Structure 1
Amino acid sequence: MSVSISRHHWQALLGELAQARRQRHLLTYRALIERLELPTPAMQTLTAALEHLAALDARAEYPLRSSLVISQGASRLPRTGFFECAVRLGRFSGPSDGVAAASWHASEVVRVFEYDYPEEA
């Protein structure tokens, strides 16, 4: 199944992530879906958009802005698919759960907070 996001929702997603980065806080998948008012299938659309953004960031050698989106569960980490995407992009190696994933994610979030993305200037 092919999933796409509208230009309006894509720009809104970038805006939400830029604001979260400036305020140095994380967003949950659920909060982002609600803020963006994504239509069904909302989670699949958001996931596809975040993976596309991760690929763009990796190609430009930027920290992965998609790391700012986490599950609302106790782990406070992104879903497994985020780590699988990071592995495909050559940014992370290892299991998608456990200490290595949590540590890599924490350092990636710090990198995102500290990076000046050109399109946000």
Structure 2
Amino acid sequence: MALHISRTHWQALLAELEEARCQRHLVTYRSLIERLQLPTPAMITLTAALEHLMALDARQGSPLRSALVVSQGASRLPRPGFFECAQRVGRFNGQVDGIAAAAWHASEVTRVFEYTYPPND
């Protein structure tokens, strides 16, 4: 997926994820779209940005900050595309839904909460 996000939106996304990390809470796709005021097609833009960030984090050996973004549904898990991307970057190996995915996600969220990311990433 091609990345089409302005530098301003990119920096705002990183700031929102850092705030969520510091406060040790998850954010929904919808709330990020609203807070960042992403232009249409907002979900495609957000997905591309989160996948790009996932690739950057994986390359640096850092926990995947994109794990902090979840669906509003009862599962409170990211969409299946998150797990597919995590597979592509070599961080997750398994079914993109079910208990294994939920357990891996919970572990990755804990790693994100405990990690300190370098500034201006």
Same fold (TM over 0.5): yes
Give the aligned partner of residue 9 of structure 1.
9
Give the aligned partner of residue 93 of structure 2.
93
For 1:36-47, list aligned pairs within 5 A: 36-47=36-47
Give the aligned partner of residue 56 of structure 2.
56
- Alignment-mate amino acid for residue 66 of structure 2: S
- Alignment TM-score, normalising by the size of structure 2: 0.96
Give the aligned partner of residue 74 of structure 1.
74
Structure-2 separation of matches of 1:3 and 1:9: 12
- Alignment-mate amino acid for residue 33 of structure 1: I
Structure 1, unpaired ranges of 5+: none
- Residue 72 of structure 1 aligns to a residue whose secondary structure is coil
Q: Is the 8 A contact 2:83 2:92 kept in 1?
A: yes
Alignment RMSD (CA, Å):
1.1
Deviation at residue 118 of structure 1 after TM alignment? 1.4
4+ long deviations beyond 2 Å: none
Over the matched positions of the two proteins, sequence identity in percent amounts to 75
Structure 2, unpaired ranges of 5+: none
- Residue 119 of structure 1 aligns to a residue whose secondary structure is coil
Deviation at residue 74 of structure 1 after TM alignment? 0.9
Give the aligned partner of residue 22 of structure 2.
22
The number of residue pairs the alignment matches comes to 120
- Alignment-mate amino acid for residue 99 of structure 2: V
Distance 1:76 1:86, change over 3 A: same
What do residues 41-79 of structure 1 show as CA deviations (whole Å, max 9, x unaligned)? 000000000000000000000000000000000110000
Q: Is the 8 A contact 1:3 1:44 kept in 2?
A: no
Structure-1 separation of matches of 2:3 and 2:114: 31
- Residue 83 of structure 2 aligns to a residue whose secondary structure is helix
Deviation at residue 119 of structure 1 after TM alignment? 1.4
Structure-2 separation of matches of 1:9 and 1:59: 22
What do residues 22-49 of structure 1 show as CA deviations (whole Å, max 9, x unaligned)? 0000000000000000000000000000
Q: Is the 8 A contact 2:3 2:52 kept in 1?
A: no
Structure-2 separation of matches of 1:3 and 1:104: 26
